């Protein structure tokens, strides 16, 4: 009886080992490619926001980690810094809007050195298909409406959807979603306004230590 159990355990062990080997070999074979894919996907997303001619550094090389749960809506967010001719030319913030219609909305917000929006993209969301999901670039051009805007254009008290007396369009049947995104972008802009010098300094130090 005990011999039976031993043989069974052995068989199970052998298959466990074979399974683990298979996974390990696949992981080994795909690891670099997956990392490269993720890097490319991120880079593509960043270049959709920041025009390529706007930067001449490697924008992915030294991302900053900032902790601004109030302003950017996440415990810690990454900030990518773009330079041109050794001067700050663009910053891209990861931000989360907690108050979407059905959950948080994750954004990338890109600003140039004067605080003018280069572009915004929604990375993930759970908004209603057909209504709130028009914030996605693939579904409508609404998100492009932010490009060129800043804290002075429109004025800060006009940073609302039209229904609330602001300058931004809402969608038919969905006000909560655009309202949340507008707020999120505004908060990110304010954060940039307060922190840009400090952030750029931090970036320079980081880049100097690890060129």
Partner 1 sequence: MSTSYREIINNGLWSNNQALVALLGLCPLLATSNSAINGLGLGLATTLVLVLSNTTVSLIRNLVRPEVRLPVFVLIIASFVTAVELSMNAWFHDLYKILGIFIPLIVTNCAIIGRAEAFASKNTVPKAALDGLMMGIGFAAVLFTLGSTRELIGQGTLFSGAHLMFGEMARGWTVEIENYKGVLLAILPPGAFLGLGSLIALKNWIDKTRKERVRKEVAVPGEKEAAAT
Cβ proximity to partner 1, 19 vs 69, nearer residue: 19
In angstroms, how far is the first alpha carbon of the chain from the final one? 66
Site for partner 1 in 134-193 (CB under 8 A): none
Q: Which two tokens stand for residue 181?
A: 């995104």
> Residue 132: CA atoms inside 13 Å, Cβ hemisphere, count?
20
Task: Pick one of 3, 6, 23, 75: the residue that binds partner 1 (CB under 8 A).
Answer: 23
Minimum separation from the CB atom of position 53 to partner 1 (A): 24
Q: Which two tokens stand for residue 93?
A: 């913030």
Question: Do 93 and 188 meet the contact criterion of CB atoms below 8 Å apart?
Answer: yes
Of all helices (H) and strands (E), which one includes residue 18?
Answer: helix 2-49
**Residue 6 interacts with partner 1 (CB under 8 A): yes or no:** no
> What is the x/- site pattern for partner 1, positions 115-144, by CB under 8 A?
-------------xxxx-------------
Question: In whole angstroms, what is the distance from residue 112 CA to residue 150 CA?
Answer: 10
Cβ proximity to partner 1, 128 vs 195, nearer residue: 128
Site for partner 1 in 26-45 (CB under 8 A): 26-27, 29-30, 33-34, 37-38, 41
Nearest to residue 66, comparing CAs of 92, 33, 38, 44? 92
**Residue 22 interacts with partner 1 (CB under 8 A): yes or no:** yes
Residues of the shown chain interacting with partner 1 in the complex, contacts defined by CB under 8 A:
4, 7-9, 11-12, 15-16, 18-20, 22-23, 26-27, 29-30, 33-34, 37-38, 41, 128-131
């Amino acid at each position: 009886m005990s011999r039976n159990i031993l043989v069974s355990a052995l068989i199970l062990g052998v298959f466990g080992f074979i399974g683990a080997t298979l996974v390990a070999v696949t992981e080994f074979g795909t690891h670099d490619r997956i990392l490269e894919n993720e890097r490319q996907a991120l880079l593509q997303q960043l270049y959709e926001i920041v025009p390529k001619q706007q930067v001449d550094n490697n924008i992915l090389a030294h991302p900053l980690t900032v902790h601004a749960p109030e302003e950017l809506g996440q415990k810690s967010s990454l900030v990518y810094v773009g330079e041109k001719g050794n001067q700050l030319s663009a910053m891209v913030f990861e931000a989360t809007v907690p108050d979407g219609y059905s959950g948080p909305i994750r954004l990338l917000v890109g600003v140039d050195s004067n605080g003018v929006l280069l572009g915004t993209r929604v990375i993930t969301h759970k908004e209603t298909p057909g209504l709130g999901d028009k914030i996605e670039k693939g579904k409508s051009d609404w998100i492009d409406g932010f490009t060129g805007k800043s804290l002075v254009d429109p004025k800060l008290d006009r940073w609302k959807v039209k229904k609330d007396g602001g300058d931004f369009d809402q969608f038919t049947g969905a006000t909560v979603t655009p309202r949340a995104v507008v707020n999120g972008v505004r908060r990110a802009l304010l954060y940039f306004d307060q922190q840009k010098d400090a952030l750029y300094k931090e970036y320079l130090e980081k880049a100097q230590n690890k060129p």
